[in-house]
Amino acid sequence: MDTLFLARLQFAATTSIHFLFVAVTLGLVTLLVGLQTAGFVTGKPVYERLTRFWGQLYVINYALGIATGLVMEFQFGLNWSGLARYVGNVFGAPLAIETLVAFFLESTLLGMWIFGWHRLRRGVHLALLWGVALTAYASAYWVLVGNAWLQHPVGYELRDGVAHLTDFTALLTNPTLGFALGHVISASLVTGGLLMAAVSAWHLLRRTPDFLLFRTSLRLGLLTAGVAVVFLLGFGFAQFGPVGQLQPTKFGGGPDRDALVAGWVTRFGPGDYTPPTLSDVGLGFMILIGFGLFLGLLLLPLLWRDQIIRLRFPLWLVLLALPLPFVAVLLGWIAREVGRQPWAAYGLLPVERAVSPVGPGVMLASLIGFALLLGALAVTNWTLIARHAARGAADPALGRPPAPETDTRPHSVFA
């Protein structure tokens, strides 16, 4: 096994795990902002309970977002030093901005949000969550600016084989960026919404206490996923435009592709410039799942007079559909990333020049180590999420009021 193959496998494994968690993060944080804002405006206690329950699941999920994200970030230097060497002047900038502008603030604010319950003024506490959500969206944006550049390099010039930045706005208006961003965000909202709906459906099916609370979150989750799935399909089909035009080797053939490949053969020498069929298969299944979820819109009228809860079987459908978005996001990324093979930066930097010059032994140890570590942590994390979801909203640790003081000085809860 060669270093290149192992490095690609490691990247695919770790990014996939990362994305399974960040899709939930991005979706849930949006819903949480809605819940906590509603609680702030209406003052109804049910919203605070909802925020604490879903916030608890969100925070557990976040732990792996960070852990896997750190591995991703270092992997560029560890395994893909050629990427930094040849195109780092351009590709590094959006990722650097992302870490400084988005992640740095996101985690700092989240730490204060977790520990700020009953301690900060309610307005400040709510503002912190808004900050967390905005920076999470900012991070999705900047990371996709980086990814879109690898899909379609723009705004650079080559000097001595090294790319130098000439036009940063070209990166921000990259035609492979906009629709992908919309598609990724709607996919995350579908994932987060369906997760919320499925957990609520489970509680309603089991007839656990808190009927009203889970009824509310079932409706919120389903409506969010329902609206988002329309945008998801819209942005999905819209992506075929730029992809077909700019990456003719990705899905299928045609004269465009042959011309492009002929050009590459003269510039980079003969070679196999067609991506593995894996990407087309991924695309097909994802679209199938997309239509399946779209059919789920038929459930929405059943929200009227709680038919959906009384009939019960629709709740089963919601529960069983939960794995679908997770499968689809992975297939979507496989379509996008495998589809640009054999290029690390499309038409500019072949993967074998991007990979680090380290021995296969080191790479294999690294692959096994990180895949086992992150895989085990992912499974543990999902188990914990499932247990906390099943435990219900009676007393989540997040936002638990502090123990009563031993001395009896009066104090208000939101001092």
Partner 1 sequence: MELAWYALLGLFFATYLVLGGYDYGVGLLLAHGATEERRRAALTAVGPFFLGNEVWLVAAAGILLGAFPALEGELLAGYYPAVAGALVGVVLVNAGVQLRSRPRTRSARARWDRVVVAGSVLAALGWGALLGGLLQGLPLHPDGHVDGVGHLFTPFVAATALAVLALVALQGATFLTLRLPAAGAATLTRVARRLVPVALAAVGTATVLGLLSARVRAAVARPAVAVLLLFVLVAALLAARAALGRGRPGVAFAATGAALALPVALVGAALWPRILVSTVDPAASLAVVDGAASGPTLSLLGWLALPLLPALLGFQAMCWWIFRERTDGRAPVYW
**Binding positions for ligand HDD, rule: CB under 6 A:** 151, 176, 180, 183-184, 187, 190-191, 232-233, 236-237, 239-240, 243, 250, 286-287, 289-291, 293, 325, 328-329, 332-333, 335-336, 339
Residues 140-169 that bind ligand HEM (CB under 6 A): 140, 143-144, 146-147, 150
Q: Is 15 one of the binding residues for ligand HEM (CB under 6 A)? A: yes
- The distance of Cα 148 from the centroid of its chain, to the nearest Å, equals 15
Residues 167-186 that bind ligand HEM (CB under 6 A): 184
Residue 342, preceding bond cis, omega within 30 degrees?
yes
CB 326 to ligand HDD: min, Å = 8
Supply φ then ψ for residue 52, to 5 degrees.
-65, -45
Q: Is 103 one of the binding residues for ligand HEM (CB under 6 A)? A: yes
For the record, the structure tokens of 374 come out as 């992150």
The item of ligand HDD, ligand HEM, partner 1, none sharing an interface with residue 293, based on CB under 5 to 8 Å by kind, is ligand HDD
Give the H or E element holding residue 210: none
What does DSSP say about strands 343-345 and 162-165: parallel, antiparallel, or unpaired? Answer: unpaired
DSSP 269: -
Give me the helices (H) in 152-273, please.
168-172, 178-206, 211-246, 255-268
Do the beta carbons of residue 6 and residue 13 sit within 8 Å? no
Q: Which is nearer to partner 1, 166 or 274 (CB)?
A: 166
Closest Cα to residue 354, out of 77, 101, 132? Answer: 77
Burial 6-41 (b: 16+ CB within 10 A, else e): bbbebbbebbbbbbbbbbbbbbbbbbbbbbbebbbe
Select from 59-67, 213-221, 249-257, 386-394 the region that touches ligand HEM (CB under 6 A). Answer: 59-67
Select from 39-47, 113-121, 139-147, 169-177 the region that touches ligand HEM (CB under 6 A). Answer: 139-147
The item of partner 1, ligand HDD, ligand HEM, none sharing an interface with residue 249, based on CB under 5 to 8 Å by kind, is none
Select from 133-141, 159-167, 236-244, 390-398 the region that touches ligand HEM (CB under 6 A). Answer: 133-141
345 SS3 class:
strand
Supply φ then ψ for residue 350, to 5 degrees.
-70, 150
The item of partner 1, ligand HDD, ligand HEM, none sharing an interface with residue 72, based on CB under 5 to 8 Å by kind, is ligand HEM
CB 401 to partner 1: min, Å = 10
Do the beta carbons of residue 266 and residue 202 sit within 8 Å? no
Residues 105-124 that bind ligand HEM (CB under 6 A): 106-107
Please select the residue that binds ligand HEM; options are 264, 333, 346, 370, rule is CB under 6 A: 333
Q: Which is nearer to partner 1, 206 or 387 (CB)?
A: 387
Q: Which is nearer to partner 1, 55 or 226 (CB)?
A: 55
Do the beta carbons of residue 286 and residue 379 sit within 8 Å? no
Q: Which is nearer to partner 1, 290 or 350 (CB)?
A: 350
Neighbour count for residue 104 (Cβ, 10 Å): 13
CB burial class (10 A; 0-12, 13-18, 19+) of residue 357? exposed
What does DSSP say about strands 349-350 and 343-345: parallel, antiparallel, or unpaired? Answer: antiparallel
The item of partner 1, ligand HDD, ligand HEM, none sharing an interface with residue 351, based on CB under 5 to 8 Å by kind, is ligand HEM
Please select the residue that binds ligand HEM; options are 2, 42, 43, 70, rule is CB under 6 A: 70
Q: Is 396 one of the binding residues for ligand HEM (CB under 6 A)? A: no
CB 338 to ligand HEM: min, Å = 4
Task: Find the farthest-apart pair of alpha carbons in the chain and give their distance in angstroms, rounded.
Answer: 83
Q: How far apart are CA 259 and CA 269, in angstroms?
A: 15
Residues at the interface with ligand HEM (CB under 6 A): 8, 11-12, 15-16, 18-19, 21-22, 25-26, 62, 65-66, 69-70, 72-73, 80, 83, 103, 106-107, 136, 139-140, 143-144, 146-147, 150, 184, 330, 333-334, 337-338, 341, 344, 351
